[in-house]
Amino acid sequence: MKSLPNILTGSRLVMALFMFVALAAAAGAVPFVSEQLTAESQLRLERWAFYAFVVASVTDFFDGWLARKLDAVSVWGAILDPIGDKILVCGALLGLMALGPNAMVVLPAGLILFREFTVSALREVGAGKGLKLPVTLLAKWKTTLQLVAIGAEMILASWGAFGLSPEPSVMGGFTLLAHGLLWLATVITLITGAQYWEAARKALT
pLDDT (tens digit, 9 = 90+) per residue, 97-133? 988 778 889 999 999 999 989 988 887 777 777 777 7
Q: Is 109 or 66 the better-scoring residue by pLDDT?
A: 109
Across 33-47, 116-130, 160-174, least confident range = 116-130
What does the mean pLDDT of the chain come to? Answer: 87
Say whether pLDDT at 73 is over 70.
no
Say whether pLDDT at 187 is over 90.
yes
Say whether pLDDT at 74 is over 70.
no
Long-range contacts of 177-181 (CB under 8 A, 24+ apart): 177/152, 178/149, 178/152, 178/153, 179/104, 179/105, 179/153, 181/145, 181/148, 181/149, 181/152
For position 26, what pLDDT does the model report?
A: 93
Q: How far apart are CA 92 and CA 68, in angstroms?
A: 28
pTM of the model: 0.89
